Amino acid sequence: MKWERPRSARRWRVAMFLVVLVGCVTIVAGVYTRARVTTLQERLHQNVIGLSGVTRLRSLVRLRAPRERYVLLGSLPLPDPLAADWEAVLATLTSTNPKSAGFDEAARAFHETADRAVAATRRENRSISLALHAAWNTLTIITWASFSFACIVVAGAFFVLRSMQRRARAASEHADRLYTLGESAGGIAHDFSNLATTITGSGRLALDRLEPDSAARAWLVQLVSTADAARVLGRQISAYATGRSEEPAIVNLSNLVHEMARLLQILVRTNARLLIQSDGAWLPILNYEVALRQVIVNVVKNAAEACAAAGGTVNVSVRQISASDIAQEDWMLAPDQACEHYVCLEVVDDGEGMPARVRECLLDPYFSTKHGGHGLGLQTVSRIVDQSHGGIAIDSLPGEGTRFRVYFPRASAPNPETAVS
């Protein structure tokens, strides 16, 4: 199942992104507004100096001052309408005799130009004052908004930290409860394993004293085999609960199928007839015996239920097969590790079969075609085989039955009976 990030973590990331975004926007707006205020202040200062220069020039013209005084004032920053015509005005004022009638005409033209420059500058000053006032208001709003936002962020961080502390405390308490439950389960599993060991020992003692041709021998063998499997299961649960890892062991799949024959016969006898084909060869697999029992039971039970209506046959076989012989398999779950030889568990039934769309979903969790089925049997098989680096192949057509093949990598372990002999 695909892992998804918790919703609280996603919300926290979105909140942090919004905080950073609002902070950046506020900083950019503040810097831009401050630069705008500085520009407007400089322009207003230049206009004030220009108006001062116009006033002084008017005084010089009224006093009919010499040329040098005009040139000195001409270096000041004059308003735009006057600055554009200053050279022409200066040439007229300096080339005309201050006591002649031509000077009066030039002075009148100068005053008209100066009036226009002063009026334009005052209008610009009013616009600059309004813009400067708005900029200062904007800067004040940004400052207060930044302060308010910072307070909100601090308060939000405080509440988030408090919430995280409460969740961490709740998670710690939940972990303590689970730890206590695990210890209790480990103790129960240990006691269960001891009880199963007692049943196994008592069953074997009863087998030793039972007549070879007794009808109860088969049932007693099945009792001993089931109790032994329960003992192994209890030991695995106890090891998991106490933190000690249970190591996989070498299991002969051929012998395991023969040991489970009676149990498998009970599973299928109400629906179909069971046939087991195995020559008892040494077919070792490095795996957990309980997990292999789960695989065999789930696959055989699924095949028996497929034969429920017709009362057909379920054929179980175990054999060794080379990697080259299975290269063209239509895998439902392909092996993820290269291996020279595989041990194949094949279960064939002559039931109703299934269409391709059903076969493709057969290993999905919670998928079932049976009324009331939970859809976890074959999904458990798929998980165990995948952890074992094995593969699964399924052939089925409507009305032609189903051929279910499970491949496990063959372990390179010697046969203990051969080694002893």
**What are the domain boundaries of the chain?**
7-169, 250-420
- pLDDT of 421 over the 50 cut: no
- Give the CATH fold of the 250-420 domain: Heat Shock Protein 90 (3.30.565)
The residues with which 252 forms a beta bridge, in sequence order, are 284
- Average the pLDDT over 122-144 and give the result: 81
pLDDT bin (cut points 50, 70, 90) of residue 219 is: confident
Give the whole-angstrom CA distance, residue 148 versus residue 345. 71
Residue 45's region, left for phi above 0, alpha for psi from -120 to 50, else beta, is alpha
pLDDT of residue 88: 66
Give the whole-angstrom CA distance, residue 327 versus residue 212. 47
pLDDT bin (cut points 50, 70, 90) of residue 413 is: confident
- Average the pLDDT over 323-332 and give the result: 78
Give the whole-angstrom CA distance, residue 210 versus residue 5. 61
Strands 273-277 and 313-322: parallel
391 phi and psi angles, rounded to 5 deg: -145, 165
pLDDT of residue 387: 86
Q: Is 396 helix (H, G, I), strand (E, B) or coil?
A: strand
H/E element, 97 = none
pLDDT of residue 346: 92
AA identity, residue 182: G
Give CA 360 to chain center in angstroms. 26
pLDDT bin (cut points 50, 70, 90) of residue 25 is: confident
- Residue written as token pair 């420059």: 117
- pLDDT of 2 over the 60 cut: no
- Please tell me which residue, 95 or 192, carries the higher pLDDT value: 192
- pLDDT of 152 over the 60 cut: yes
Of the listed ranges 39-43, 269-273, 318-322, 336-340, the one predicted with least confidence: 269-273
Of the listed ranges 73-87, 234-248, 304-318, the one predicted with least confidence: 73-87
pLDDT of residue 5: 44
What mean pLDDT is reported for the chain?
Answer: 77
Give the whole-angstrom CA distance, residue 365 versus residue 1. 9
Q: Is 385 helix (H, G, I), strand (E, B) or coil?
A: helix
Other beta carbons within 10 angstroms of residue 281's beta carbon come to: 14
Give the whole-angstrom CA distance, residue 314 versus residue 257. 14
pLDDT tens digits along 171-185:
888 878 877 877 787
- Average the pLDDT over 22-30 and give the result: 80
Q: Is the pTM of this model over 0.75?
A: no
What's the start-to-end Cα distance of the chain, in Å?
A: 49
H/E element, 405 = strand 402-409
pLDDT of residue 259: 80
Winning range, highest mean pLDDT, from 92-96, 184-188, 344-348: 344-348
